Structure 1
Amino acid sequence: MRNQSIIKVGISIGDMNGIGPEIILKSLEDKRMLELFTPVIFANSKMMSFFSKHFKTKVQFNGIPSADKAIDGKINVVNVWKEGVKINFGEEDKLIGEYAVKSLEAATQALIKNDVQTLVTAPINKNSIQSDKFNFPGHTDYLAQELKGESLMFMVSESIKVGLLTDHVPIKDISNHITTKSLQDKVNAIHNSLKMDFGVETPKIAVLGVNPHSGDNGVIGLEDEEIIKPALKKFVDAGKFVFGPYAADSFFGTKQHKKFDAILAAYHDQGLIPFKTLSFGEGVNYTAGLNRVRTSPDHGTAFDIAGKGKANANSFNEAIFTSIKIYKNRMEYINLKKNALEPQKTSHNNRK
């Protein structure tokens, strides 16, 4: 019988011309990893053997037809496709992008069916994956469609956590995507994730201003005055510790981020530049707000070093460990809430 305490971690292969296969192999080469979780890679056994030989690792694989057939203590590979695939490391290739999508779709379905408990995604190339059937800018948007909940791109590490109000949106369109509802949804997603996924009882959240100097009272844009400030007042009135808007140019330099459990940035680069500066190689991209757990490393396909054996697997390791930690925290939180809501039975024998 399977040990229910061992979590099955699904792993999508990502862009095989990038560093995804290498960091997966480097993470799983340490046999102690199999004591912590059961890996389930969604790809092809022959391809994984090719990568193992290329990178001169001694990783061995257990080929399976579906994730529910995974065996603890082994590195399982779900054979999503049967044919061989030509690999050209470092090259952008639409065909390789199609296989990245096949892996992601199969892994997501296994996640939905609970055949794997968490999903860790290796990096994809956003251009290679585009097609008539798959036209999402990235993992987050696809998972938001397939899973239940309101997705939040949440970059996390031990020292800093940054959520994004808007993520893969062109700079010129950012203001169109900032609404009272979107702000409320993202703040609530961060608040709930901090409590449920990271064990923070009373979250303190900082919100960065949209415009330089948070708009300078409307002189430099009206979003901060008309949308951000009124929405934050409602959170404070409701008893939540949500503060801002803070001027983004000085917030991290003055180390104000250390006073908060998480920060909500207005747009992608406003949040990710300081996050990656402070925690590159140790950070994790977590899709919070959904009914399943998905993480990924905080870097891309790194085509410039692909196939050369130079990739650092630290962030991928952190993505695995974080997914397991979040899953366990979430299960504990759900069980505690469930037990708190269950009516207490009174024994007749205790009556006086």
Structure 2
Amino acid sequence: MQEEGKIRLGISIGDLNGIGCEVVLKTFEDARMLDFCTPVIFASNKTISFQKKELGLDINYHGVSDASKAVDGKINVVNVWKEVPKIKFGEATPEAGKFAIASLRAAVEALKNDSIDVLVTAPINKNNIQADDFKFPGHTDFLAQELEGESLMFMVTDDLKVGLLTDHLAVKDVSAAINPILIRDKVRTIEKSLQMDFGIRAPKIALLGINPHSGDNGVIGKEDDEVLKPVIKEMSDAGHLVFGPYSADSFFGSDAYKSFDAILAAYHDQGLIPFKTLSFGKGVNYTAGLSKVRTSPDHGTAYEIAGKGEADPSSFKEAVFTALHIFKNRKEYQELTANPLQKQRIRR
């Protein structure tokens, strides 16, 4: 474990043909960032050298053979590969996918053995990462396999937190996937995360309806009445501050979301469209419910601007600060809950 204030922050480099490397390097081009953490990038010296030259970035880094050898006060680069990747900015190539997976696997292994404390992942392309030994639709599913816990895709800012009942699932399959067990598990996961990761003692959670107008009393669909409502009542009766289901079309526009600590959306776009609209590129994708902390920016590879030096690092920088904040909150939570006499100190 690093000394207080020097959390070892691992970074998987993502798709080398996208903007991942650019937002990473731009984030740590500001030397003040090294006051908060020790960054450890999983890539290679030659890869980072090429990217910084192409992007015209003024940044120095320190090559290491292993994350455990990272040096405080420097940007550390773990040499995961010896090859020199062919960078083709703006193109989705199998080679870029191969190196993205290599970086991610190395970073996750370091996270599992505590060589790094937290992980921030740069964007990948869900198509070119597919391989015989990697058949996951994204980071979340892979991390759920590798790390202990019940994963939840949780989009967060200081003022807005949106979790998903189902994430990378076709819309036609959403209703069939939502059942009482899934709802209970996701509510408990989001509740625990709000308490442990964000310091909210008694979180209020809103569930959005599956159908338009939450089914209009069965006129537009029965799932809300027959699946969501009974579980919400059951959990509410058991003492959980769970409410809904709310009609998704008016929930955000009416500012109703401001009355809750988190919102649980039924499916991907129901939650992410309003979240990204309201967060203005400052949002963070957090994988809640796992034994380790992982965040990422709320954008993708952005091939259309890759290599042009136009990428905005704001969301990646927010992902870094969010990871650090959650790590510290978890440590505090564990210390307080280990001593029953101090539990009341967990802040609202």
TM range (shorter): over 0.9
The equivalent residue for 2:255 is 255
The equivalent residue for 1:334 is 334
Q: CA deviation at 1:55?
A: 1.2
Structure 2 unaligned residues grouped into runs of 5+ = 343-348
The equivalent residue for 1:282 is 282
Q: Does the Cα contact within 8 Å between 1:217 and 1:225 map onto a contact in 2? A: yes
Q: Does the Cα contact within 8 Å between 2:7 and 2:38 map onto a contact in 1? A: yes
1:179-328 correspondence runs (5 A): 179-328=179-328
1:71-82 correspondence runs (5 A): 71-82=71-82
Q: Does the Cα contact within 8 Å between 1:285 and 1:295 map onto a contact in 2? A: yes
1:149 aligns with 2:149: yes
- SS of the residue 1:60 aligns to: coil
The equivalent residue for 1:52 is 52
- SS of the residue 1:198 aligns to: coil
1:28-177 correspondence runs (5 A): 28-177=28-177
Q: Does the Cα contact within 8 Å between 2:197 and 2:329 map onto a contact in 1? A: yes
CA distance in 2, matches of 1:121, 1:327: 16
Count of equivalent residues: 342
CA distance in 1, matches of 2:230, 2:2: 52
Q: CA deviation at 1:57?
A: 1.4
Which one-letter code corresponds to 1:278 in the other structure? Answer: L
Q: Does the Cα contact within 8 Å between 1:280 and 1:298 map onto a contact in 2? A: no
CA distance in 1, matches of 2:129, 2:283: 24
The equivalent residue for 1:9 is 9
Q: CA deviation at 1:341?
A: 7.6
Q: CA deviation at 1:94?
A: 0.9
- SS of the residue 1:90 aligns to: coil
Structure 1 unaligned residues grouped into runs of 5+ = 343-352
Show structure 1 runs of 4+ deviating over 2 A: 1-5
Which one-letter code corresponds to 1:135 in the other structure? Answer: K
TM-score when normalising by structure 1: 0.96
Q: Does the Cα contact within 8 Å between 2:5 and 2:36 map onto a contact in 1? A: no
CA distance in 2, matches of 1:244, 1:329: 29
CA distance in 1, matches of 2:111, 2:227: 37
Which one-letter code corresponds to 1:43 in the other structure? Answer: A
Q: CA deviation at 1:221?
A: 1.4
CA distance in 1, matches of 2:266, 2:89: 35
Q: Does the Cα contact within 8 Å between 2:23 and 2:313 map onto a contact in 1? A: yes
CA distance in 2, matches of 1:203, 1:59: 42
Q: Does the Cα contact within 8 Å between 1:189 and 1:288 map onto a contact in 2? A: yes
CA distance in 1, matches of 2:65, 2:227: 51
CA distance in 1, matches of 2:299, 2:57: 23
Q: % of aligned pairs identical?
A: 62
Q: Does the Cα contact within 8 Å between 1:49 and 1:60 map onto a contact in 2? A: no
Q: Does the Cα contact within 8 Å between 2:2 and 2:8 map onto a contact in 1? A: no
Which one-letter code corresponds to 1:62 in the other structure? Answer: H
Do the aligned partners of residues 2 and 108 (structure 1) sit closer, same or farther apart at CA in structure 2, a change above 3 Å counting? closer
Q: Does the Cα contact within 8 Å between 2:207 and 2:244 map onto a contact in 1? A: yes
CA distance in 1, matches of 2:340, 2:60: 45
Q: CA deviation at 1:83?
A: 1.0
TM-score when normalising by structure 2: 0.97
Larger Rg: 1
Which one-letter code corresponds to 1:175 in the other structure? Answer: S
Do the aligned partners of residues 82 and 341 (structure 1) sit closer, same or farther apart at CA in structure 2, a change above 3 Å counting? farther
